[in-house]
Amino acid sequence: MAIKVVGLIAGLGMILLAGPREDFLKLIDRPRVPPAPQISDLGESNGLERFHFTFAADSSQRVPGILLRYKAPTGSANAPRPVVICLHGTGGSKEGCIPELQELASRGFLGVAIDGRYHGERARLGSYDDAILRAYRTGQEHPFLYDEVWDVMRLIDYLDTRADVDASRIGLIGYSKGGMEAYLAAAVDPRIRVVVSGLGVESFRWALDHGGWSARTDSFKPAVQGAARDAGVWFIRVSFVRQFYDRVAPGIYSEFDGPAMLPLIAPRPLLTINGALDSKTPVPGLMECIAAAKMAYSAARASDKFQFIIEENVGHSVTPEAEKTAVEWLERWLKR
């Protein structure tokens, strides 16, 4: 499968675009608690060491994760290494990231993945759809995207305490739900030095304005249908979807939309990967995000640090060629 590279450009300084970052951080903020990590050794195989860990994201949530690394030579076991965090998509889990973590570990990284809220080990707290519906009803949580950004920030707090972590070289990669969470987290946390967003960059506003919203909301369709029943809505129209987003992920189609958040990453290295046939990330809306990022990186004189890839004849999936490009991007910018 050939990859079509549509552009290679760069961004508008972070200082001028501080408003959305500050507002987003205020929205997701909550009392901080010590990470209180708990770590268990899962054993070693062919020099690959595997660990399970949990840490406290807040007073009610502990986040489970896995960490993979290749055993260091004698005498340098705690030498700091660059880290790449992997975020999974809807319905996935940290275990689904293991092949990628193994590849990253083979290249000298610490590979880390966590379970998203109401996914993997955290599904015991309830279903993802039920949590989103509860957020619509109560406004008490933001399980769609925003709470995961908080968890990533708290994960970095934990990683910063580890002797084997080089906290100045932390990268983030995610696909689909994880791709959206990746660019949102990188936009608000400058400790993330390099980011790859796969199948996630989109303009929610464009989708709502042009009838392209249903493919995205199908990812959590039971929650939308439950919210519609609550509201006495029997035929879901765009006006209701806006109302739903306003309660579940306020600002997602305005101040925190893709065109507003991507520029905040500049001038840090950013790679985005999308499929030309992906109905969840319609190309016209995607290109609005790319145009905004392009302006930002150009103003920052960082033209080599922004790359976007649109794979021709590809839907909501990532090809092996794109995955290879993603790993090479992380290696290029984190191994310096």
> What's the pLDDT tens digit per position in 134-151?
999 998 899 999 999 999
Is the domain spanning 4-32+81-334 CATH 3.40.50.1820? The answer is yes
Domain boundaries, the chain: 4-32+81-334
Predicted confidence (pLDDT) at residue 74 exceeds the cutoff of 80: no
Average per-residue pLDDT for the chain: 93
pTM of the model as a whole: 0.93
Whole-number pLDDT of residue 68: 98
Predicted confidence (pLDDT) at residue 49 exceeds the cutoff of 90: yes
User: Contact at 8 Å (CB) between 5 and 309?
Assistant: yes
Whole-number pLDDT of residue 336: 75
User: Which residues are within 8 A (CB) of 272 and not within 5 positions of it... i.e. 6 or more apart?
Assistant: 183, 196, 197, 198, 200, 201, 262, 289, 290, 293, 307, 308, 309
**pLDDT class for 318, splitting at 50, 70, 90?**
confident
> What's the pLDDT tens digit per position in 154-213?
999 999 999 999 999 999 999 999 999 999 999 999 999 999 999 999 999 999 999 999
Phi, psi of 150 (to 5 degrees): -60, -45
Residue with tokens 């649109």: 310
